[in-house]
Structure 1
Amino acid sequence: MPKPFRNTRIQFRFPRAASFLAALAALVTVLIAPPAAALAGNGAKPPDESRPVYSYEQAVRESVWVDTGLDGDGDGRTDRVAVDVIRPREAAEQGIRVPVIMDASPYYACCGRGNESQKKTYDAQGRPLQFPLYYDNYFVPRGYAVALVDLTGTSRSDGCTDVGGRSDVLSAKAVVDWLGGRARGYASARGRTAVRAGWSTGAVGMIGKSYDGTIANAVAATGVPGLRTVVPISAISSWYDYYFAQGAALFGSGPDGLADRVESAAARGRCQAVQRALREGAPRSGDWTPLWEERDYVKDAGRVRASVLAVHGMQDLNVRTQHFGQWWDALAREGVERKVWLSQAGHVDPFDLRREEWVRTLHRWFDHYLLGYDNGVEREPMADVERAPGQWATDAVWPPRGTSATTVRPAAGPVPGVGTLGLLPAPAGAASVFTDDPALDESDWAAHATESTPAKASFLTGPLARDLRLSGSSRVRLTVTPSTGSAHLTAVLVDLGPAVIRNYAGAGEGIRTLSGRTCWGAGTSADTGCFRVTEPDTAQVAHTVFSRGWADLGHHAGLEEGEVLTPGRPYTITLALGATDHVVPAGHRLALIVAGTDAGLVQPASTRPRLTLDLAGTAAELPVTGGWPAFLRATRGGPGGGPSGPGGGSGGLRQPYDAGPPVTAPGLRPPAVTALP
């Protein structure tokens, strides 16, 4: 495992002497103007990357209020959103236009950004001093502007927060339009002095974690001109799926609670109608409503024209990997140029996981898509995947070539409630019975996967003869008969075997923050560009839950409207499990566990049902690299271990059943879900 940086200062400082300006002019001529693409056309060898040739200390720092064209708070005036901009002064003086890195967020005043919860700060005249995160420190000296946008209803902006709705999205889009000369900006919140972004090339890259990355996804889905790339980190792709899982309510308040947390005090007073609309439009029934339709960006993936560099923690139980998986798959269908980083952490920024490599990658990504450098970043491996804490591998495409949906099926074993998992269907009439226990969670079930317990049904392969890799999203079709009028269901995939993993259930969700700092770019006393270093926070476990899905059985027919179940009647529902990339090593076992309420993640149903699982009507579709032959080889010991066709092998069902010893070492208990993405 590579050692973390400790007290290393990677920092650029610029002299104030006139000699610097002379050298700067020469460097600008060589490195910045004309653009790299034009240099190649003139026969000159272009530079390999943008260089820190501009003064950060002398950069222009200004605030602009952009007219959104909306009147969300109903005060008779169109809303303006505050945009704090920092850009190279020397470029403006020489008439050189620069591209823009933009982070639109509701958190700059209420909650802060990054691992250290940085907020914007201003001097006595209201001029911006601190720009949270490192984008300004690192990229402004390299010929970029950075624009940090206060979403409507937050900090210094007008309007009302509508949590991913029209106001949020169009306010951020309006800033992209202003940067491209298509919208109006003003020097103050109420004044009439117009401000134009004549210094901008109109090329914009949006970036952000969580809510911020969600807005980047949403603006990309409008197809706005000028948005060249987006970098969504742990981002939502459909707000319904943040608050519900196929009809089952997840813990936390609704969108009105989040709006109340991020809105400015002034907005809370004027935005009661919007708050009411959020409450009424998002009933806790789990039904799909027009409010959720407006906040579903996946359906608009066909409008995306920007490239996408997506980042997600595979153990993120805040913004779960369902969001990444469905967005990625939709972008793939549309042929969008894209790249992905998948970590073993929870809701963590890659800057705090793999700092040096992340900044290098982001630098080259923005250089290519915003400055036109032909640096080959788009031809490099599509995926970086963390295999163990701090240990990464790459794939040319993701999911990797040869990955295909493989249908595996549960069957009964000699121990009640503990069956097998293979390729052949169970005989008609085979069943497994369990009773929902809202006090138990996935860790409890996995710890007793090999034992008969009343609250779950588990299905296991034997110890694998070879590594088995799953890459992508899974689905589990369940045929279930409830004993009561309501039921919630959970399905999880578990790697049964010892491992050292990131402690995603810990306070840092897989990282530990240390006292040392590293500096990224230039800085001032008000904005140093120096950040506390981190190291992996690890845990020794006996099992790893690596993919999950939940549903309300009352929504088996669709999300539009749930129904009261008829006790004794069988229902079939398909649970979507979160995207993952996990290798179950040889010697470990793969388990599928089906249970009821997942405590701490899903709110329990109104009743506590006894559930009869029809094994013949149940199957899991897994994204196996190598497809069913790879599954067969892993579970049978080799290509000669069974018949050659997908229907001929048993995947271990004909072997003597051996559940192995009980799994008694700990796993990780999921952290409580918060109401803040």
Structure 2
Amino acid sequence: MSNEDNEVDAGAHTGSTDVEAVSRRQMLASVTATTIGASAFAGRSVAAPVRVDGAVGDARDTDGVAAVRDEAWVETDVDTDEDDESDRIHVRVSRPESTDEGDQLPVLAVASPYYGEQTHSDATEEMYYDRAIGPSASAGGDGAEGTTAGASEARAAAGVSENRRHSVGDATGRADAFERRYLQQGYAIARISSLGTARSTGCYTAAGPPTIEALESVVDWFNDRATAYDAPTGGEAVTADWTNGRTGMIGASALGELANGLATTGVDGLEAVVPQAANIGQYGLFRANGTPISVVPDGSPGMTDLGTWVQASNAQRPDCERWTGIVEDGQDHETGDYNDFWHERTFLTDADSVECAVLLTHAVDDPIVKPNNVADWYETLGERDVPLKLWLHEGGHTSPRGRAWEALLDRWWAHWLKDVDNGVMDEDPVTVVRGGPSPAEDSPETYEEWPVPGAEPTTVRFGPGGATSGSVTMDESETGTESLVDDPSVLASDLVEAAESDHRLRYETPPLSESVHVSGRVVPSLSLSFDEPTVVSAALVEYTDSGAEIVTRGWADPLNRPSYGEYDAPLAYRESLRESEPLGPDEQVNVEFPLQATDHVFESGSRIGVVVYASDREFTLHPPGNRSVELSLADSAVDLPVVGSESALAAAMGDETGDGTATDETATDETTTDEPTTEPTETTAASTDEEPSETTDRSTETATTGDNEPADGTDEPSGATTSDGGPGFGVGAALAGLAGLGGLLHRDADDGD
């Protein structure tokens, strides 16, 4: 049996957890074993799979639909292994038997790098980069070089396990939910092994330009514009006469990244995509505001970069060794700066070419593919004439769940691939689900846009006392400075919870008299000085009587002097991070950067906290030497995207207004907010003979089985993916040792069907 068959809803429980000790959102994040892979079929073979050698395989009944299995290798226009032969992409097709009688159906496709035995999960210790370095300037600086040397030794000295793989455990769900659902609705299903993976030829480049160009050839084959064969080399030509060429693509995480990338080609025939928990190129996965970051919450001394993934994935392909050098030269781990290498790998540059409809989904507490990926993409596509919808939820690195989601997905495909006039594009384009991947307790709320209407930047400042707890105020700035000492050994969750600490500055509001809705990007603007450069981190925290919950956080390299507010588009801001310069003696530098995008309601009685610290044990470099940082109170502030703007926050804080004056009345008459439309949770899935899966409470149930297997087309293997003390960006201590995304992504499905 293949790994693919075994890795469905793994790890339904993470052990005996004291539920009373963590919040609902913390629990959702720390038991995200209902994650990405649990939500669908993509690439998972059905029971008793049939492997075929030619164009047409045996027909087999799939819940009332006789299905035919095909496979083919599509010839591309790239030659990544430089063997003077065009690389070929392996495609496996499941289609209703009626296509043998002349039916031509649309295709639902999933492209994945995880179908084979060798993936980036197979990285060895020498492939990781030394983390114990400080920020380095791109011109004339004295920063340390980020090399792989010393990472293994540092891990051993720290007593960290050498096993960076995270096992996904035993499967409890059924692997063919997506295929079963959509074969019945009259679609063909195509599973595509991306370039240089599984049984495709060529080299793994992650989602680099050759990989995206190769995927374009597959859609061309569906539309009779490219040639496929029945073998990886040579062979007889295979036609796709079973399809009308209309193609939709869906996938989560790296699979969704491939869907995003294919959309930017503008290839004719690609009608719609559904990227879930997906990045938009690799810079936003491995970098944040000029500094290298860990893909997963991981405190290990060795750090993953794109070079790690490329080297590991190509380890069994000797002709592909050169790609490690290409990536290591381009990624510039030493400075973390944006450059031409990253520029050609970001999809923001080709947004004008997107012609298909796009349905984006993402958890606002995703600790792996951070939410700024979806925020940047939504903002960028929203400026163009692209049919666009957005579904936000909570629960970590997951896909949406529940009947409302499944009904939307059914209607989405029917509208864009079959021209069904079902009104799916006449509804509010934005849905926000609070409390988990599915609307188990609260109904989804819909809006006309995101950030939700009425969200406006509201400036708050800091009052003295950050070593214990200073104030968050809307009054004029305080004078003076406050200091902290970096300590990479301390978890962010411990820093934000500590009543007193030399290693962070904590500021918070008084208890809120009413709830406050924050929607969008929190942007601190911090005036800092350093004895030696270190990473700058900040967290938005909800404080209650029972503890502290990290809502979102972010990281920046002060040598880049990030100034987020000066740029009106995500790509323009990234371009501003191309240069980093050394700090002058006693130089006061302003560091203005966005935290990861969020949509969160602070409950009445809670306190809004902002915590400033230096390195983040789980996500950033670990500069040596306990470097000192000094913050100027007078010149520092934070913009909070508050729904209802200043008047809403002032009312919740009791006696403060936006101009710093006291008042006994709230300013609700001047507050403009968007009242959300509430959708019922018992929405019936449209146009399907299968009963949709039951909605479940993901805070306590983390896996579905049998007919409750979620039915969207993701393929990311499941497993807990959060860290130390908050939703997504901080999670359960039992999972703090999760060392790398790689082990979650091991697949050998192509060898099992």
Q: TM-score, normalised by structure 2?
A: 0.68
SS at match of 2:648: helix
Letter of the structure 2 residue corresponding to residue 430 of structure 1: G
Counterpart Cα distance in 2 of 1:387 and 1:84: 37
1:359 aligns with one of 390, 406, 417:
406
Decide which structure has the larger Cα Rg and report it.
1
Match of 1:297 among 325, 331, 347: 347
- What amino acid does structure 1 have at the position aligned with 2:514? R
Q: Pick from 270, 274, 277 the counterpart of residue 319 of structure 2.
A: 270
1:91 corresponds to which residue? 99
Contact 1:479 1:617 in 2 (8 A): yes
Tell me how far apart the structure 1 counterparts of residues 170 and 409 of structure 2 sit (CA, whole Å). 21
Cα drift, residue 327 of structure 1: 1.1
What is the DSSP-based 3-state SS (H/G/I as helix, E as strand, rest coil) of the residue aligned with 1:64? strand
Q: 1:329 to 1:366 in 2, by over 3 A?
A: same
Amino acid at match of 2:258: I
> Following superposition of structure 1 onto structure 2, how do residues 525-544 of structure 1 map, counting pairs within 5 Å?
542-544=547-549
State the partner residue of 2:706.
Answer: none
Instruction: Out of 157-166 and 358-367, give the one that drifted further.
Output: 358-367
Once the two structures are superposed, the pairs formed by residues 190-205 of structure 1 within 5 Å of their partners are: 190-205=233-248
- The 2-side partners of 1:220 and 1:97 are apart by 23
Q: Are 1:426 and 2:477 matched, yes or no? A: yes
State the identity as a percent: 29
Kept in 1, the 8 Å contact 2:63–2:180? The answer is: no
Please state if 1:284 is matched with 2:289. Answer: no
Shift of 1:478: 1.2
Aligned mates of 1:415, 1:596 — CA distance in 2: 14
The structure whose residues are more often strand, as a share, is: 1
Q: Which amino acid aligns with 1:586?
A: S
**CA distance in structure 1 between the aligned counterparts of 2:649 and 2:177, rounded to whole angstroms:** 44
Q: Which residue of 1 aligns with 2:445?
A: 394
What does the per-residue CA deviation read over 1:77-131, in whole Å, with 9 as the maximum and x for residues that have no partner? 11111011111121340x2211111111110123899x97999xxxxxxxxxxx9
Deviations 1:241-286 (A, max 9, x none): 2112222222332223213444473xx2110111221122112121
Match of 1:563 in 2: 581
Deviation, 1:349, is: 2.8
After TM superposition, give the deviation of residue 317 of structure 1 in Å: 1.1
- The SS at the match of 1:388 is coil
Structure 1: gaps of 5 or more residues: 6-52, 120-130, 499-540, 653-664
Bigger drift between 64-73 and 604-613 goes to 604-613
Q: Which residue of 2 aligns with 1:65?
A: 73
2:106, 2:418 within 8 Å by CA — same for their partners in 1?
yes
Q: How does 1:54-203 map to 2 (within 5 A)?
A: 58-93=66-101, 95-110=102-117, 133-203=176-246
CA contact (8 A) 2:458 2:642 kept: no
SS of 1:391's equivalent? coil
Q: Given residue 659 of structure 2, which amino acid in structure 1 is its aligned partner?
A: G
Note the C-alpha offset of 1:673: 5.7
1:599 counterpart residue number: 617
Structure 1 position 630 matched with structure 2 position 648: yes
- Of 394-403 and 221-230, deviating more is 394-403
Aligned length: 546
Q: Does 1:238 align with 2:268?
A: no
SS in 1 for 2:66: coil
In structure 2, distance between residues paired with 1:651 and 1:488? 40
> Which one is further off, 135-144 or 355-364?
355-364
Deviation at 1:469, TM superposition (A): 0.5
Distance 1:359 1:395, change over 3 A: closer
Question: Does residue 217 of structure 1 match 2:260?
Answer: yes
3-state SS in 2 of match to 1:437: coil
1:127 — aligned with what?
none
- Aligned CA distance change for structure 1 residues 642 and 244 (closer, same or farther; 3 Å): closer
Deviations 1:205-254 (A, max 9, x none): 11111110001111112222221111111111131121122222223322
Structure 2 matches for 1:189-588, cutoff 5 A? 189-251=232-294, 252-263=303-314, 265=316, 268-285=317-334, 286-350=336-400, 354-389=401-436, 390-392=440-442, 393-399=444-450, 401-413=452-464, 416=467, 418-427=469-478, 429-448=479-498, 451-484=499-532, 486-497=533-544, 542-556=547-561, 558-588=576-606
In structure 2, runs of 5+ residues without a counterpart are 1-23, 25-33, 35-60, 122-166, 295-302, 563-575, 665-723, 746-753
Distance 2:662 2:108 in 1: 54
CA distance in 1 between counterparts of 2:466 and 2:507 reads: 11
Task: Give the secondary structure class of the aligned counterpart of 1:387.
Answer: coil
Residue pair 2:428, 2:446 contacting (<8 A) in 1 also: yes
Q: Which has the higher contact order (CA 8 A, sep 6+)?
A: 2
Distance 2:252 2:644 in 1: 33
Alpha-carbon distance change, 630 to 298 in structure 1, aligned in 2, over 3 angstroms: same
1:614 aligns with 2:619: no
Secondary structure at the counterpart of residue 493 of structure 1: strand
Change (3 A) 1:579 1:673: farther
- In the alignment, is the contact (CA less than 8 A) between 2:311 and 2:321 conserved in 1? no
The answer to whether the Cα contact below 8 Å between 2:365 and 2:395 also exists between their aligned partners in 1 is: yes
Q: Describe the SS at the equivalent of 1:420.
A: strand
Bigger drift between 385-394 and 160-169 goes to 385-394
Letter aligned with residue 461 of structure 1: T
- Matches of 1:543 and 1:191 in 2, distance apart? 61
